[in-house]
Amino acid sequence: MTQTEASSPLSIAVLGGGSFGTAIANIIAGNGHDTRQWMRDPEKAASCRKLRENTFYLPGVVLHPLLNITYDLEEAVTGCDIVFVSIPSKSFRQVVRAVAPLLSPGTMLISTTKGIEHDSFHLMSDILREETQGMRVGVLSGPNFAKEIVEGHYTATVIASEDEALCKTIQSVLHSETFRVYSSSDVFGVELAGALKNIYAIVTGMAKALGRGGNTTSLLITRALAEMMRFAEAMGADPMTFIGLAGVGDLILTCSSDLSRNYRVGYLVGKGMPLEQAVAEIGQVAEGVNTVRLIKAKADELGVYMPLVSAIHAILFEERPIPEVIRDLMSGAQTFDVAYSAKP
């Protein structure tokens, strides 16, 4: 597929019946493409088709007439040029494995999932490459609340792929009057940024619950960025990616709004609710909870200094009292503000 081909209508599937899958599918249908959204639950699919509304995840939003909703995976992906995968990281591999034999060679596979696979530490693009052969792979990530996208708030995101033509196609397919798509060739950095920022949304949500103000939020977001960049560098990603939309852009958004499920988990735990109950209360995926465990283990293994990750891990999984953890954080060594320099 070339850039010029993207201007004619394409066949595009979105896997996942949640809030983000629905938001993305609605944009694509709005741009005139043959769009199919797959959700595994036949009853939910029938309800969305009948009501032209996803009352389960995005109530109040009218689904575009060109959006076809199905629970039949084969029907969803057969003959598709592009398949977006909007499935939580926990089930991502299982769904990709099921869809792989149904895809034509050269299909563009785009992950929108901001998480890391449990046990393997694989990112979603790794899974796409491992479970399929001969496909073109990309990652979509950025400051993108599904609810705000469908409400038409001006929004931008990032498509990351080493395949420049793929980036151009995705820019064309998603671009609208209210939605812009920037490109990056740093797949690993963009994907890592999307997963990492969820951790700090839990932290800032907790700070809000404890009555902390703007100074504290700013302190947390800025030091979170420093941690993210340090970790990225240790993992071989380009730290500069983290000053873009998928890095600091998404960090600011998710750490400052209770539209974020991760922020809300942090808020509820900060108010004294047990973690499991907080996760159940949210009722949608909060990827950061699992990501905290994985990043803490990886940072320890690599010897990367990540005091905020250690602190939130101690609160969520080591039963350390919040005031004690905050005291430790505030009494840590006072080091340099900015560790990166443009100077040689």
Ligand X SMILES: NC(=O)C1=CN([C@@H]2O[C@H](COP(=O)(O)OP(=O)(O)OC[C@H]3O[C@@H](n4cnc5c(N)ncnc54)[C@H](O)[C@@H]3O)[C@@H](O)[C@H]2O)C=CC1
Residues forming contacts to ligand 13P in the complex (CB under 6 A) are: 114, 143-145, 198, 201, 250, 253-254, 260-262
Subset of 174-233 contacting ligand X (CB under 6 A)? none
Residues, the chain:
344
86 binds, among ligand 13P, ligand X, none (CB under 5 to 8 A by kind): ligand X
Residue 288 binds ligand X, judged by CB under 6 A: no
94 binds, among ligand X, ligand 13P, none (CB under 5 to 8 A by kind): ligand X
Q: Out of 95, 253, 268, 292, which residue is the one contacting ligand X (CB under 6 A)?
A: 95
270 binds, among ligand 13P, ligand X, none (CB under 5 to 8 A by kind): none
Q: Which is nearer to ligand X, 75 or 300 (CB)?
A: 75
First to last CA, the chain: 41
Q: Out of 55, 94, 104, 277, which residue is the one contacting ligand X (CB under 6 A)?
A: 94
Do 139 and 110 meet the contact criterion of CB atoms below 8 Å apart?
yes
Q: Which is nearer to ligand X, 16 or 249 (CB)?
A: 16
DSSP code string of 282-314: H-S--THHHHHHHHHHHHHHHT---HHHHHHHH
Q: Report whether 142 belongs to an annotated binding site.
A: yes
Q: Report whether 250 belongs to an annotated binding site.
A: yes
Return the amino acid letter for 198. N
Question: Distance between CA atoms of 111 and 121, rounded to whole angstroms?
Answer: 16
Active-site hit among 50, 90, 197, 208 = 197
Question: Distance between CA atoms of 102 and 314, rounded to whole angstroms?
Answer: 44
Residue with tokens 């005139």: 32
Pull the structure tokens for residue 178. 């209210």
| 63 CB-contact burial (10 Å; exposed 0-12 / middle 13-18 / buried 19+) | buried
Torsion of the alpha carbons at 198, 295, 285 and 151, rounded to the nearest 10 = 20
Return the amino acid letter for 312. I
- Provide the 3-class DSSP secondary structure of residue 234: helix
Q: Which is nearer to ligand X, 22 or 169 (CB)?
A: 22
Residue 19 binds ligand X, judged by CB under 6 A: yes
Residue 138 binds ligand X, judged by CB under 6 A: no
Q: Which is nearer to ligand X, 85 or 166 (CB)?
A: 85
The per-type count for the chain, helices as H runs and strands as E runs, is: 15, 8
Whether 271 is a known active-site residue: answer no
Stretch that binds ligand X, among 91-99, 181-189, 227-235, 316-324 (CB under 6 A): 91-99
Subset of 140-159 contacting ligand X (CB under 6 A)? 144-146
- Provide the 3-class DSSP secondary structure of residue 266: helix
Residue 70 binds ligand X, judged by CB under 6 A: no
Question: Distance between CA atoms of 323 and 329, rounded to whole angstroms?
Answer: 10
Q: Name the minimum Å distance from CB 197 to ligand 13P.
A: 7
Stretch that binds ligand X, among 110-118, 185-193, 202-210, 313-321 (CB under 6 A): 110-118
Q: Report whether 261 belongs to an annotated binding site.
A: yes
Q: Report whether 75 belongs to an annotated binding site.
A: no
Query: Which CA distances in Å does 305 have to 231, 296, 311?
Result: 8, 10, 12
Nearest position to ligand X, beta carbon: 18
Number of other residues whose CB lies within 10 A of the CB of residue 338: 7
112 binds, among ligand 13P, ligand X, none (CB under 5 to 8 A by kind): ligand X
253 binds, among ligand X, ligand 13P, none (CB under 5 to 8 A by kind): ligand 13P
Do 63 and 44 meet the contact criterion of CB atoms below 8 Å apart?
no
Query: Which CA distances in Å does 195 have to 129, 220, 292?
Result: 18, 17, 10
Q: Which residues bind ligand X (CB under 6 A)?
A: 16-21, 39-40, 57, 86-89, 91, 94-95, 112-115, 144-146, 284-285, 287
Q: Which residues are catalytic?
A: 197
Q: Which residues are annotated as a binding site for sn-glycerol 3-phosphate?
A: 114, 142, 197, 250, 260-262
